[in-house]
Structure 1
Amino acid sequence: MRRLYVILSFLVFCLSPIAAYSADLKLVVLGDSLSAGYQLAPEEGFPEQLQKALDARGYSVQVVNAGVSGDTSSGGLSRLDWSVGTDADAVIVELGANDALRGIQPQITRNNLDEITKRLRERGVEVLLAGMLAPRNLGPEYAEVFDPIYSELAKLHGALLYPFFLEGVALNPDLNLSDGIHPNADGVAIIVENILPKVEELLAKAQSS
């Protein structure tokens, strides 16, 4: 009886949520306030809502929030090595919005995102570039140089591309905070729903690599 009790106890432990949680993949979201959950409850941010969506689909993946509000592509590059550990299997790079808002030269943004993507790919990490569009008040010349950065770098480095992170959310007052820039919880839910197919493609690549 004692031996049976020990076996049953072991099985209960192995099947418990705490013991069973050992994700096969680690997905890091390297971003700025748009993905960091600016002014949102802890469970309402992009990484957290993405985690719930992937859990619901049966994925064994841990989504890590490596977003820093106010970060530029330069900031993301400077903290890359400690923000994305050696155990990362895949990364969503969501950077560049603050570059455009500050009018930083697009070539600087390109160089930073190029270096980030190159370093990650050299480590064997699968990358999804979440694109951004330049504010149109900066003029057509700026947009013509800034907007293609993400698609061109994705092609160059064999990374996946989601063309516009705020697709379906930007400029919609019902889906943004009062500042008109950052998505609210409902806006984040739309982003997660839209980007999910690309994230699933990213995880498939990471699983097979």
Structure 2
Amino acid sequence: MKTVPSILSCGLLLALCISCGSNSSQPAADVATAPAENAAPPPAKPASASAKQTILFFGNSITAGLGVEPEQAFPALVGQKIDSAGLGYTVVNAGLSGETTAGGRSRVGWVLRRPVAVFVLELGGNDGLRGLPLSATRRNLQAIIDTVRRRSPQARIVLAGMQIPPNLGADYAADFKKLYGDLARENKLTLIPFLLEGVGGVARFNQRDGIHPTPTGHRLVARTVWGVLQPLLRQPVPATP
């Protein structure tokens, strides 16, 4: 993994807003016509949104796309890649501005009112920027993981790693980074080592606040996520326990 350029300038990496969206639009209704004699059978229609499995992005302002249009946020861009690849998934963006792991722990049951096939967990950055105890962050993330597995046992969980600048001490920053790898290994999760790889701390890829990605930054984040998510989506869906 590349070193984040100027990690000190990575600054206050997160904050969030809620936005939901589907990556697919419904096709217009077909006009009923009699088929011509010996005509070739019509092409198969794409699966309707209701027939598709759900990928839920659960995070903070980075996921929500604070400061950009909903369709420019990385979950929507990943949704476009899914459609282009012809995969049977629809994307739901459940990012919430300012979310901490404690807030996510309280909210996760509400967003899991319907089963999900893939759950992308992107939380913890706000905890780190506030200097919250890492033991609490770990407990909250573990509780979210446990809730997903209880509500949607078949769901595959992707954990988005985050890093923070060493303002609160190099040890704290290092331990913060490490907890994502530890949780992924202990829970057998798919890990995105650093969600903002190549974006965090790079001025031209962030908005004026130096925190939230620009549309170009989101495209880079989507590329990072897609590199991890695409192989997972092409694997057979595990049977429900």
CA contact (8 A) 2:78 2:225 kept: no
Name which of 157, 167, 183 aligns with 1:127: 157
2:171 is aligned to 141
CA contact (8 A) 1:176 1:184 kept: yes
**Which deviations, in whole Å up to 9, do the C-alpha atoms of 1:108-129 show, x marking residues without a partner?**
1111001111221333221000
CA contact (8 A) 2:161 2:191 kept: yes
CA contact (8 A) 1:103 1:138 kept: yes
1:25 is aligned to 53
Change (3 A) 1:117 1:205: farther
- 1:39 CA displacement: 1.1
Q: What is the letter of the counterpart of residue 89 of structure 2?
A: V
What runs of 5+ residues in structure 1 fail to find an aligned partner? none
Structure number with higher helix proportion: 1
2:96 is aligned to 68
- The residue correspondences of 1:25-174 to structure 2 (distance < 5 A) are 25-122=53-150, 123-124=152-153, 125-174=155-204
- 1:86 CA displacement: 2.9
CA contact (8 A) 2:49 2:90 kept: no
Q: What is the letter of the counterpart of residue 160 of structure 2?
A: A
Q: What is the percent sequence identity of the aligned residues?
A: 35
Separation of aligned partners in 2, 1:156 and 1:204: 24
Q: Aligned pairs, how many?
A: 200
2:237 is aligned to 207
Q: What is the letter of the counterpart of residue 83 of structure 2?
A: D
**Which deviations, in whole Å up to 9, do the C-alpha atoms of 1:48-74 show, x marking residues without a partner?**
111111111111211000000100011
Alignment partner of 1:104: what SS?
coil
CA RMSD, 1 decimal: 2.1
TM-score normalised by L of structure 1: 0.87
Higher relative contact order (CA 8 A, sep 6+): 2
TM-score normalised by L of structure 2: 0.76
Separation of aligned partners in 2, 1:129 and 1:206: 20
CA contact (8 A) 2:56 2:120 kept: yes
Structure 1 consecutive aligned stretches of length 4 or more whose deviation exceeds 6 Å = none
- 1:190 CA displacement: 0.4
Separation of aligned partners in 2, 1:28 and 1:36: 12
